[in-house]
């Protein structure tokens, strides 16, 4: 039996944000309709190395595609010339259980997470949103902005991060993708004066104060994806409409996990899952003044849907190499 092996450059060569947003949106719709099997992420914690490993299986029943992602998060890796996040995705035949393809999932993870942020803003942000604020200047900030530009026509993008240098590099790299000024700001507070705010940091202490967020803002809270992580002031969650990607995962490791554990909010304060809003089971934004928050933990259905798109295109273009298993 042979399995198709796809390296990162081959995965990159067949991916684009526009197409990925389409398949990820379909996956969220199926999630909203209860047509997926997706147990929550399982974690291994490597405390001595400030890292963790996660396994993420999913089955999209309607499309009959299934697989699993294995992914790490090690914030200290850049000092070793390694990515903070590295991932491997295995696509599997639902009929036989045999592996069909194995591919790098590191770049794919960045793109599918960006796609989810763009989709969330499509359904939750004000339609006239013109100013985007970014807290964090890493790979995830890039794909979040790219996805938002698929949905909106921003007039200004504001960005801040731990260093001015990282923001300047971000501005240079993204200038060709963004049809407006990208401006560096020294403070998070100045960035928060926007229509759509995106936070992509690994912080474990809130860095966005409730008093900085104006009425009508939509927030994509991306960074909190493990127990103990949080980016937003709990007071902000109390006065906002909270939409999560998946309830079970968010309770465990999303932006809401710390405020829940400290009883600032309860599970009843979480309005809906994104898929429920998309298919009309729950309302999304109901006023121009409402503050909405999308709590993204990253779902295996996003990975499997995206990996299947990559696999189909790679086969069509004759990419990768067949590896014999037995």
Binding residues for NAD(+): 112, 139-140, 223-225, 229, 296
As separate numbers, helices (DSSP H) first and strands (DSSP E) second, the chain gives 11, 16
| Residue 80, H or E segment | none
CA atoms within 13 A on the CB side of 198: 29
- Given 41, 69, 122, 241, the catalytic residue: 69
Give dist(CA 230, CA 4) in Å, integer.
Answer: 38
> How far, rounded to the nearest angstrom, does the alpha carbon of residue 109 sit from its chain's CA centroid?
8
Six token digits for residue 72: 């790490």
- Strand pairing category for 65-73 and 85-92: antiparallel
Six token digits for residue 95: 């009929």
Give dist(CA 282, CA 33) in Å, integer.
Answer: 12
Q: Establish whether 35 is a catalytic residue.
A: no
Radius of gyration of the chain, Cα coordinates, nearest whole angstrom: 19
Are 207 and 233 a contacting pair, CB within 8 Å? no
The backbone region for 116, taken as left when phi is positive above 0, alpha when psi lies in -120 to 50, beta otherwise, is alpha
Q: What is the DSSP string of 164-189?
A: HHHHHHHHHHHTTT-SSEEEE-S-HH
Give dist(CA 133, CA 192) in Å, integer.
Answer: 6
Six token digits for residue 264: 């600032």
Give dist(CA 101, CA 103) in Å, integer.
Answer: 6
Residues noted as catalytic: 69
């Amino acid at each position: 039996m042979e399995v198709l092996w796809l390296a990162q450059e081959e995965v990159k060569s067949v991916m684009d944000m526009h197409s990925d947003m389409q398949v990820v949106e379909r996956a969220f719709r199926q999630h909203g309709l209860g047509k997926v099997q997706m147990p929550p992420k399982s974690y291994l914690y490597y405390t001595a190395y400030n890292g963790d490993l996660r396994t993420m299986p999913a089955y999209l029943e309607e499309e009959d595609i299934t697989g699993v992602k294995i992914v790490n998060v090690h914030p200290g890796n850049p000092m070793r010339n390694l990515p903070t996040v590295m991932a491997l995705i295995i696509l599997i035949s639902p009929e036989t259980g045999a592996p069909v393809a194995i591919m790098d999932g590191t770049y794919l993870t960045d793109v599918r997470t960006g796609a989810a942020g763009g989709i969330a803003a499509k359904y939750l942000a004000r339609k006239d949103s013109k100013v985007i604020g970014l807290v964090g200047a890493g790979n995830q900030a890039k794909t979040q902005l790219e996805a938002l530009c698929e949905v909106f026509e921003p007039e200004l993008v504001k960005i801040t991060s731990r260093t001015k240098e990282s923001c300047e590099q971000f501005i240079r790299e993204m200038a060709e993708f963004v049809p407006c000024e990208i401006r560096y700001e020294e403070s998070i507070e100045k960035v928060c004066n926007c229509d759509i705010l995106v936070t992509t940091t690994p912080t474990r202490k809130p860095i966005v104060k409730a008093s900085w967020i104006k009425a009508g803002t939509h927030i994509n809270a991306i960074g909190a994806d493990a127990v103990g992580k949080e980016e937003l002031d709990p007071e902000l969650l109390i006065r906002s409409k909270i939409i999560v990607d998946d309830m079970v995962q968010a309770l465990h490791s999303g932006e809401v996990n710390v405020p829940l554990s400290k009883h600032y909010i309860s599970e009843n304060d979480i309005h809906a899952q994104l898929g429920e809003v998309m298919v009309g089971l729950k309302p999304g934004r109901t006023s121009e003044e409402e503050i909405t928050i999308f709590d993204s933990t990253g779902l295996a259905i996003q990975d499997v849907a995206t990996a299947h798109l990559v696999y189909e295109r790679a086969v069509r273009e004759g990419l990768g190499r067949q590896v014999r298993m037995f």
